[in-house]
Each structure stands twice: as structure tokens, then as C-alpha cells.
């Protein structure tokens, strides 16, 4: 299939691009600059430059495709996602063309055993996503939502930003809160396989958790960092002051999930090292 892909130069998008090509798809990469176009231009990848919030333009690009995955982000993600879903609804209405939208595990709030069908309970940071995702899942288009956990791999992602990049006091790494909260995690390459499986196989109308089944606590993550012998707890209000309340409140969610639905339906089998294994190995950029 010829797949329209947004966010092809991003962290997750570049992994999805590689995986789409490995599965034999052609890709139209919808990018926002000539620089991005040059970065993705390759055999079986056609970059098209335009503004993703230009709904008429995007609708025409989507009409020329056989399916789409949306992974682009920006300074105003709500406006961006709203525009993309509006274009998809117009371009794909009444067809069987698959569309895969990006949600996130934070939208479920805290939970010891989160499953795909749990009701939304988002913190402030991502509350805007819920009504947009509902539009994706409505009858009329073959729309699905992938809700990734905390994505890691190649020395990047939230673990690099929040754990490795945390301040230190006397050599001890700062936690977010007491660090006992669990994080649902998934390697970026495993997640990319899930996106492509959902594109190829999902009937539409459902959410699929991108969860490897490894749910370490933040304390475990911090203690796994090479060369760090101690950690420092923060009062939640201290974390909010340091990181901003909306972001800190999302990081303070205590979440665990197994991703069983995707594993059973699509034979999705995460195979990459866990985040704890990579952190203990220095979080290399090439695994």
C-alpha cells in the first residue's frame, strides 16, 4: 500500500517509516519543510511539503493514499490533531482505507492493570486528546488509536529526558515524587511494529495499548543508571515546581499494563531489551 505518514522525521515516526518499508509499503511522507523532505527522500519514500493544519491540502494528499499513520507533533498539538482528523474523516469516509492515530497511556490515568477498553481519565496535560480520539473511533472511517507507553530506545525518549537528565544533589539523582510510581514502557522499534500491524490488520473502532509488559518504577529506573548510587525523593509539589505542574502530574501517574490485546490479536511480540536493561548498560544509542 501507499501510506501517508506524518512525523516521518521524528523519534517514533522515523522508526515507523523504517518498519513500513520493511513490510513492503510505499510511503508518502507529509512534511513541513524542505529540510525534512531532504531527510526522508529515498527509494519508495516520496516527501510532500505542506502545512498539516491546512485541511483542504491535507485532504487531497490523503485521498491519493491507501492508508495513513499520524505521528507528527507541534507547538499546538490539539489544533494539529483536530485538523488531521478532520482531513482523514473527509478523505476516507465510506472507504476501507485504514487510519492509525496516536494517543498515549497517560490518557487512562493511574491503574494497576490498564486495558485498552478502560475509560479515559487523563491528567490536564493530555485531556484534550480524549474528544479527538472519540472522533477517530466513530463509524464512518476505519480508524484506530495506538496508545504508546513511555517510549525508549537509542538513548532517547522520556527516560533520557526525565531520568538521565534529572538534576543531582551530591551525586544522587532526583526522582519525580517518591519514585514509587510505575511507568508503562515500550521500545520504539517494538512500537513501530505495532503501528504497522494495526494499520494492516485492525478493523477500526478500537484503541490498542503499546505496552511491552515491563512496568518499572521510576525509582528502579533511576537506580539502574550507571554510576548513580543514590536517589533523592522529591515532594510532589517540588517536582511540580521543577517540571511544571501538568508535566509532573503526568509523570506521577502510577500505571501498569501488559498490552495483551495487541499481542493476542496481531501476534505482536516485543523483542527489544527492556529499559532497565539498557539503563544498566549505559543506555546506548545503538540498541
3-class secondary structure per residue, the chain: CEEEEECCCCHHHHHHHHHHHHCCCEEEEEECCHHHHHHHCECCEEEEECCCCCHHHHHHHHHCCCEEEECCCCCCHHHHHHHHHHHHHHHHCCCCCEEEEECCHHHHCCEEEECCCCCCCCCHHHCCHHHHHHHHHCCCCEEEEEEECEEEECCEEHHHHHHHCCCEECCEEECCCCCCCECCEEEHHHHHHHHHHHHHHCCCCCEEEECCCCCCEHHHHHHHCCCCCCEECCCHHHHHHHHCHHHHHHHCCCEEECCHHHHHHHCCCCCCCCHHHHHHCCCCCCC
Closest CA to 263 of 212, 204, 188, 203: 212
What is the predicted pLDDT for the residue at 121?
98
Closest CA to 55 of 15, 86, 30: 86
Domains and CATH numbers, the chain: 2-148+187-200 (3.40.50.720)
What is the predicted pLDDT for the residue at 150?
98
Give the pLDDT means over successive 10-residue stretches in the chain (287 positions).
97 98 98 95 94 97 98 95 98 97 98 98 98 97 98 96 92 95 98 98 98 97 85 96 98 98 97 95 82
What is the predicted pLDDT for the residue at 287?
60
CA distance 121 to 107: 6
Closest CA to 132 of 81, 89, 91, 93: 81
* Cα→Cα distances 189→42, 152, 247, 276, Å: 20, 9, 25, 16
What is the predicted pLDDT for the residue at 23?
98
What is the predicted pLDDT for the residue at 202?
98
Per-residue pLDDT reduced to its tens digit, 180-218: 999 999 999 999 999 999 999 999 999 999 999 999 999
What is the predicted pLDDT for the residue at 226?
72
CA distance 63 to 258: 36
CA angle 201, 20, 137 (to 5 degrees): 40
Confidence (pTM): 0.96
Amino acid at each position: 500500500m501507499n501510506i501517508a505518514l506524518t512525523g516521518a522525521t521524528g523519534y517514533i515516526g522515523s522508526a515507523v517509516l523504517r518498519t513500513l518499508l520493511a513490510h513492503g509499503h510505499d510511503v508518502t511522507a507529509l512534511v513541513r519543510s524542505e529540510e525534512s523532505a531532504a531527510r526522508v527522500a529515498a527509494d519508495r519514500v516520496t516527501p510532500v511539503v505542506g502545512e498539516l493544519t491546512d485541511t483542504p491540502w491535507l485532504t487531497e494528499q490523503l485521498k491519493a493514499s491507501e492508508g495513513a499513520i499520524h505521528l507528527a507533533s507541534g507547538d499546538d498539538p490539539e489544533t494539529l490533531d483536530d485538523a488531521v482528523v478532520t482531513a482523514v474523516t473527509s478523505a476516507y469516509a465510506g472507504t476501507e482505507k485504514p487510519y492509525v492515530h496516536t494517543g498515549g497511556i497517560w490518557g487512562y490515568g493511574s491503574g494497576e492493570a490498564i486495558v485498552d477498553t478502560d475509560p479515559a481519565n487523563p491528567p490536564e496535560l493530555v485531556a484534550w486528546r480524549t474528544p479527538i480520539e472519540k472522533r477517530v473511533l466513530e463509524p464512518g472511517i476505519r480508524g484506530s488509536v495506538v496508545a504508546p507507553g513511555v517510549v525508549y530506545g537509542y538513548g532517547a525518549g522520556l527516560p533520557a529526558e526525565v531520568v538521565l537528565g534529572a538534576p543531582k544533589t551530591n551525586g544522587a539523582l532526583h526522582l519525580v515524587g517518591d519514585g514509587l510510581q510505575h511507568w508503562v514502557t515500550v521500545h520504539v522499534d517494538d512500537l513501530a511494529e505495532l503501528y504497522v500491524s494495526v494499520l494492516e490488520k485492525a478493523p477500526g473502532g478500537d484503541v490498542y495499548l503499546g505496552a511491552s509488559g515491563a512496568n518499572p518504577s521510576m525509582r528502579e529506573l533511576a537506580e539502574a543508571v550507571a554510576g548513580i548510587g543514590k536517589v533523592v525523593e522529591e515532594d510532589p509539589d517540588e517536582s511540580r515546581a521543577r517540571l511544571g505542574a501538568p508535566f509532573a502530574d503526568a509523570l506521577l501517574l502510577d500505571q501498569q499494563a501488559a498490552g495483551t490485546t495487541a499481542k493476542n490479536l496481531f501476534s505482536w511480540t516485543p523483542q527489544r531489551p527492556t529499559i532497565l536493561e539498557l539503563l544498566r548498560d549505559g543506555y546506548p544509542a545503538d540498541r
